[in-house]
Structure 1
Amino acid sequence: MAKSSAGRSALSRIMQILAAFDVDAVFLTVSQLSARSGLALATTHRLVAEMEQFGLLERQLDKTYRLGVRLWEIACRTPGALGLREIAKPYLQEVQARVRQHTQLGILEGYEVLFLERLSARDAVVNVTLVGGRLPLHASSSGLVLLAHSDATFQDEVLAGDLFRYTDQTVQTPESLRSLLQQIRRDGYACGRGYIHPEARGIAVPIRGVNDLVVAAVSVVVPNDDAPVTGLVRLLQAAAQGIGKDLHAAYAPSNDPAATPGGRYRTLVSSSLDSMEYLPSAPRPQTRR
């Protein structure tokens, strides 16, 4: 039976095609895009051709399509996720230089934690996190930190949902999850021992932005052994404090003495002081499209 896209706006249909791609499905044929998006094949053909023209999709030699670089270019202009990533990256690198395992930055997105960055050593412990990938809030240390600092209504919605079980150690009941969230708020960090893989342990702390609101979590994934977490927690808290301070400076009024230089670029870019001072006045040729 032919699928119908009647009543849907052009933008909603384009979003359905973009959403068909996933970390496990980065190359898709038009037929696969049609099936995964729920759009009619003829509609998918037409939209894919137009999206390719604008650089939103790129056609491969085997006639599959992947997301286009133009999407990445546009995404890099958002001061939300990628601006945060830019500001946080020097601190993530400092943490990673110490732990030499996995260091991550995650934000709340829907009922999941979305990872904006992950730094990994080649010989590090098992870790399923992918940049641009997601994990359930209840199963990851970053997700637990973000959930613990969410409002009560949102917590109730998560508690009422399915708590997917990765291992025997994954939090399984609403009662145990609610108790764990209270402990995280009290201790200031989350530690998930074997929640996703028996050999891995995640440790995360919150990052506070403007108005002291929790905007992200910084975490490490290390071997699930008996090593104390105190040193790692302190390391992460120092990084979170630095990121929070730089976030405040990036969003402070431009006439504030503590404001980061860089004008309109300061919420997007984290660079040397000389670079930030030069950026607003740097000559820029008109981009050809």
Structure 2
Amino acid sequence: MSRPARTPPNSVSARLLGILDVFSADTPLLTLSDISRHTGLALTTTHRLVGELTGWGALERDADGRYRIGLRLWEVGSLAPRSVTIRDSALPFVEDLYSATHQHAQLAVLDGHEVVYLERISGRDAVKVSSRIGGRLPLHATGVGLVLLAHADSQVQEDVLRGPLTRYSRRTIAEPELLRVTLAAVRRDGFAVSDGQIEPHVLSVAAPVRGADDEVVAAVSVVVPAEGTESRLLIPVVRAAARGISRVLGAPSARSLPRSVRRERHAPGQAPR
């Protein structure tokens, strides 16, 4: 999908960022002319700024003269504290989730009105999905998105509910009132199920991850084929993983047993029955 040309920004920094912004999963490789057209910058200006970005390592030039995002940006991005702390704490539990399904196990955070994926572990024969590490997807149509939106600031919720709510399939929750009811259920139940909302053949089960102040800081999920899958069998596994990550992050609510768990007590000298 081609992007319309933009009005060139005035500052140099804004122009540099604008150049980086034209790269996406759909357009990972661009020629100098492509970049000039997408940014609205003159070709000579584009050539100079792209040269500076390439020299620093933000862009790389392949043998055909096309440009792509460079590894230096990945190095810088990997230093983001929210990404590092949550991802490092979550990785063992995400690996366990993958072991339970051999499909996709994912970790995501809220950024603006979108989900950003920090981690994904996938099997070789896993169902095809749109998500990718570093990628973004809408809040209202993904399992992790529903969890994050349900626990987001009220202003963020109202902004998303006002729409537009893009419909990706016939199962996408694109009606504000239905979405509002769904978010209430997510808060009540402690998990979200997204069944075919973006890809009709995919089902996702997600649960919230809480930080040291017990606020929801991320969401973890498994993504599996919708056909032949019973979501109720995945819910306990996903919730246990989310609780484990929350405990590592210091969430007070994750330090005690859930209310549904009964701890048996025995009198001194009395053997358990």
Write the distance in 1 (CA, Å) between the matches of 2:8 and 2:224: 47
The CA RMSD measured in Å over matched residues stands at 1.9
Structure 1 stretch displaced more, 233-242 or 15-24: 233-242
* CA offset digits 1:54-112 (Å, max 9, x no partner): 11111111010111111111122221123322221111001100111111111111211
Other-structure match for 2:264: none
Other-structure match for 1:140: 142
Write the distance in 2 (CA, Å) between the matches of 1:55 and 1:199: 39
Give 1:247 deviation, angstroms: 2.4
- The 1:105/1:48 distance shift into structure 2, 3 A limit, reads same
Write the distance in 2 (CA, Å) between the matches of 1:218 and 1:4: 38
Matched, 1:125 2:105: no
- Percent identity (aligned): 46
Other-structure match for 1:156: 158
Kept in 2, the 8 Å contact 1:3–1:40? The answer is: no
Other-structure match for 1:48: 50
Other-structure match for 2:267: none
Other-structure match for 1:245: 247
Kept in 1, the 8 Å contact 2:7–2:39? The answer is: no
* CA offset digits 1:107-148 (Å, max 9, x no partner): 111211111111111222232211111111111011010000
Structure 1 stretch displaced more, 81-90 or 169-178: 81-90
Q: How does 1:245-284 map to 2 (within 5 A)?
A: 245-248=247-250
Matched, 1:218 2:220: yes
3-state DSSP of counterpart to 1:80: helix
Give 1:39 deviation, angstroms: 2.4
Give 1:4 deviation, angstroms: 6.8
* CA offset digits 1:173-215 (Å, max 9, x no partner): 1011111111111111100111112221111001101211111
Write the distance in 2 (CA, Å) between the matches of 1:162 and 1:172: 8
Write the distance in 2 (CA, Å) between the matches of 1:203 and 1:179: 18
Q: How does 1:224-243 map to 2 (within 5 A)?
A: 224-225=226-227, 227-243=229-245
Write the distance in 2 (CA, Å) between the matches of 1:4 and 1:234: 50
- Pick aligned residue for 1:79 from 78, 81, 86: 81
- Pick aligned residue for 1:100 from 99, 102, 116: 102
Kept in 1, the 8 Å contact 2:6–2:38? The answer is: no
3-state DSSP of counterpart to 1:25: coil
- The 1:38/1:243 distance shift into structure 2, 3 A limit, reads farther
Other-structure match for 1:275: none
- The 1:221/1:4 distance shift into structure 2, 3 A limit, reads closer
Write the distance in 1 (CA, Å) between the matches of 2:36 and 2:148: 35
- The 1:38/1:171 distance shift into structure 2, 3 A limit, reads same
Kept in 2, the 8 Å contact 1:208–1:244? The answer is: yes
Structure 1 stretch displaced more, 107-116 or 237-246: 237-246
Matched, 1:32 2:52: no
Unaligned runs of 5+ in 1: 250-289
Other-structure match for 1:202: 204
Other-structure match for 2:191: 189
Q: Which residue identity lines up with residue 198 of structure 2 in the other structure?
A: I
Kept in 2, the 8 Å contact 1:30–1:64? The answer is: yes
- The 1:3/1:170 distance shift into structure 2, 3 A limit, reads closer
Q: Which residue identity lines up with residue 61 of structure 1 in the other structure?
A: A
Q: Which residue identity lines up with residue 121 of structure 1 in the other structure?
A: G
Q: How many residues end up aligned between the 2 structures?
A: 247
Which TM-score applies when normalising by structure 2? 0.85
Write the distance in 1 (CA, Å) between the matches of 2:54 and 2:250: 39
Write the distance in 2 (CA, Å) between the matches of 1:4 and 1:45: 17
3-state DSSP of counterpart to 2:207: strand
3-state DSSP of counterpart to 1:211: coil
- The 1:3/1:107 distance shift into structure 2, 3 A limit, reads closer
Kept in 2, the 8 Å contact 1:125–1:223? The answer is: yes
Unaligned runs of 5+ in 2: 252-273
